[in-house]
Amino acid sequence: MNRTLMIGLGWLALVGFDSPVSAEGPAVDPTAAAQRHVVLSQQPTGLLIPLYLYPANIHTNETYNRLIALKQAHPRVPVCVILDPADGPGEQADGNYKQAALRLGGAGCVVLGYVSTRYAKQPLEQVKTDIGKWGTFYRSIHGIFLDEQSYDDDEAHLKYYEQATQFAHSQGYWPVFANPGTNQIESYFKRPTADVIVVHENETYPDEKSLKGDYFGGHADYPAYRRASLVHSMKVLDEKQVRSMARHTRWIYVTEDQYKPNTPGAENPWDSLSTHTETLLKLLDR
């Protein structure tokens, strides 16, 4: 097998794409791509947790320790955790984040480093620099989270994310997530613009049709392991809605934390660990 094999904690993945990359990048071994699809199509649904909370006093930090304990109690459920020291890796390493990444990884979490792309307005070289900084400052990071992905058919934008993802892979990072903040169009699934794309980030549960993407220009022809969905501002967890999310997207998360722009204390819905986390893990562990 000529592709990297990752084995760990109930999930296994072959690095590669379901379709060949663009002319600028190497072609994918079709056998490896088929093997990857077989493996990932059997992967259980997991959590994608944006944890934009500073890990102060990491060994006694209540939030991080709670997440670690919950993951250890549900080792079969995949958990990806996004860390964001300074709207990206920052300009120097932070010892608390170093230890947080190590402890999360030790508990079986996949740790993703946040990188802002500003809808392809951030220069690609700066994105590559930030990806490189994650490797320099935090060697225990496993994958990359490209935030603010564009969602148009601009050829330059598609190539931008292809190249960013290809660079992240070349640095040893997998998986690469991307988040447009809205339901993404088919072009970004057809092309290797990310391994996983967030198709829903909102204060409401997504409807099943949008999750399936079963419409012209949608993503129904691409497997669920290529999609993620995030819900914030949700005080009550609706198990039926969660099951729908888990049926059509491989990575999910629901938090009660509210998002209210320009409202102190509510400007970031991802600065706490959801009170629904334990219930979500139990539902996915059935």
pLDDT in tens, 116-172: 999 999 999 999 999 999 999 999 999 999 999 999 999 999 999 999 999 999 999
Instruction: Please enumerate, as own/partner, the contacts of 25-31 that have beta carbons within 8 Å and a separation of 24 or more.
Output: 25/162, 25/163, 25/166, 25/192, 29/2, 29/3
| Residues paired with residue 117 on neighbouring β-strands, in sequence order | none
- Domain count across the chain: 1
pLDDT in tens, 162-215: 999 999 999 999 999 999 999 999 999 999 999 999 999 999 999 999 999 999
Q: How far apart are CA 100 and CA 94, in angstroms?
A: 10
**pLDDT at position 29:** 82
Question: Which residue type is seen at 258?
Answer: Q
**Whether the predicted model's global pTM rises above the 0.85 cut:** yes
| Residues paired with residue 111 on neighbouring β-strands, in sequence order | 81
For the chain, the residue count is: 286
Residue 9 exposed, middle or buried by CB count within 10 Å (0-12, 13-18, 19+): middle
Using pLDDT thresholds of 50, 70 and 90, give the confidence band for residue 10. Answer: very low
Q: Is 5 helix (H, G, I), strand (E, B) or coil?
A: strand
pLDDT in tens, 233-285: 999 999 999 999 999 999 999 999 998 887 787 789 999 999 999 999 999 99
Instruction: Map tokens 């009170």 to a residue.
Output: 275
User: What distances in angstroms separate CA 112 from CA 108, 127, 212, 265, one per listed residue?
Assistant: 13, 15, 25, 25
Note whether 211 and 250 are within 8 A (CB).
Answer: no
The range of the structural domain enclosing residue 224 comes to 5-284
Torsions phi, psi for 47 (to 5 deg): -105, 140
CATH at residue 31: 3.20.20
